[in-house]
């Protein structure tokens, strides 16, 4: 079905990814806030090991040096700490902490990049040829959901909240659901680019000349 559109898939995955990311961040940080009693190795938060093997943990750390904002954002920032003036510890940079040492500059830079990426995905998804490719719509939906999830954090918290941590055979940087959406979406996009050929617009064949207009029989002379 050449004219079928999968824009609904892009929108659905973007909404699901954004919702799952924000819900998990707020709930995990509220759960591990533990009324301000911190017992992890850094002394700034709490962690919960997932069995078996103690190789993966859910971790939430807080930043006593950064006060919450005043006004409308205050409630969004302190919901996880039950209204206490304590901010989550955030990653100001990108994946793997790239650029995190610059803090405000890094956060603003990656926020702008996120906005541009989101706009580009929406514009790309509005193209009729793109909308007919189910795999491409799925990958763009995941990337859009992850982009919007981390963009929300950059606007509200000044950085990205991370809470998933693998430390088994090697130490992996702490990440979140939005990062998972971005990685999976980018991987699907790569597969789409390498192994699948984009659909071409359906060509419209001109009607044959014989069918364009009925032929009028030539009258014959009667004797």
Q: What residues are annotated to the active site? A: 162, 179
Rounded CA separation 113/177 (Å): 19
Pull the structure tokens for residue 103: 């803090």
Residue 59's H or E segment, with its range, is: strand 56-63
Rounded CA separation 163/26 (Å): 10
Contacts of 107 (CB under 8 A, 6+ apart): 92, 93, 154, 158, 159
The verdict on whether omega for the bond into residue 52 sits within 30 degrees of 0, i.e. cis, is yes
């Amino acid at each position: 079905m050449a004219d079928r559109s999968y824009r609904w898939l892009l929108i659905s995955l973007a909404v699901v990814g954004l919702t799952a990311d924000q819900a998990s961040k707020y709930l995990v940080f509220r759960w591990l806030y533990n009324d301000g009693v911190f017992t992890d190795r850094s002394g700034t938060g709490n962690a919960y090991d997932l069995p078996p093997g103690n190789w993966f943990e859910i971790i939430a750390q807080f930043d006593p040096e950064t006060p919450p904002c005043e006004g409308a954002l205050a409630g969004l920032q302190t919901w996880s700490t039950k209204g206490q003036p304590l901010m989550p510890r955030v990653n100001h940079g990108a994946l793997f902490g790239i650029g995190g040492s610059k803090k405000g500059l890094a956060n603003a830079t990656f926020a702008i990049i996120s906005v541009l990426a989101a706009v580009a995905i929406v514009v790309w998804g509005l193209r009729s040829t793109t909308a007919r490719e189910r795999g491409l719509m799925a990958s763009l939906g995941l990337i859009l959901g992850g982009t919007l999830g981390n963009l929300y954090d950059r606007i509200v918290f000044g950085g990205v909240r991370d809470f998933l941590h693998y430390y088994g055979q090697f130490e992996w940087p702490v990440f979140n659901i939005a990062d998972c959406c971005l990685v999976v979406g980018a991987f699907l996009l790569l597969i789409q680019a390498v192994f699948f050929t984009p659909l071409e617009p359906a060509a419209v064949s001109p009607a044959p000349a014989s069918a364009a207009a009925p032929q009028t029989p030539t009258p014959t002379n009667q004797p």
